[in-house]
Amino acid sequence: MIKSLKSLALLAMIVSLAACSRGEIAPMSTKTVDIPQTPVKSQGHVGFCWSYATIGLIESIILRKTGVQMDLSEESLGFYRMAEELHALSQKVEAAEVADADLVKKKVFEDLEGWDVTFNPLYNPGLSVRSALQLVRDFGVVPESSWSYKFKDGDQETALLQHIYAGFAKLMNTHGRSKVTWEMIVDLLSEKEAFGSKPPSTFDYLTASGEKKTYDAKEFIADVAGFTVDDYTYMIPDATIGYDQIVKAIKLTLERGLAIPLSYMIYEETFNEWDASYSVQDPNREFKQDGGHVVLVTDFVNVGGRPGSVPRDEMLAEMAKPSSALDYLIVKNSWDSHLASPLLRHPGYHTMYQSYLQLLVKKPVDITIVVPRDIAFQVRYGR
Q: At 373, give phi and psi (nearest 5°).
A: -60, -40
User: Among residues 46, 126, 134, which one has the least CA distance to residue 294?
Assistant: 126
User: Which conformational region is residue 125 in: left (phi greater than 0), alpha (psi within -120 to 50 degrees), or beta?
Assistant: alpha
Residue range 246-270: average pLDDT? Answer: 87
* pLDDT above 90: percentage of residues in the chain: 46
Domain ranges of the chain: 11-199+218-381
How high is the pLDDT of residue 43? 87
Q: Could you give the 3-state DSSP secondary structure of residue 35? A: coil
Look at residue 54 in the predicted model and tell me its pLDDT. Answer: 94
pLDDT at 159 over 90: yes
- pLDDT tens column, 207-220: 777 888 999 999 99
Determine which of 1-15, 164-178, 260-274 has the lowest per-residue pLDDT on average: 1-15
- Residue 364: the pLDDT is 64
Cα 264 from Cα 368, distance rounded (Å): 7
Q: What is the pLDDT of residue 165?
A: 93
DSSP 315-341: HHHHHHS-GGGEEEEEEE-TTHHHH--
Q: Which of 7-21, 100-114, 308-322, 342-356 has the highest mean pLDDT?
A: 308-322
CATH for the stretch 11-199+218-381: 3.90.70.10
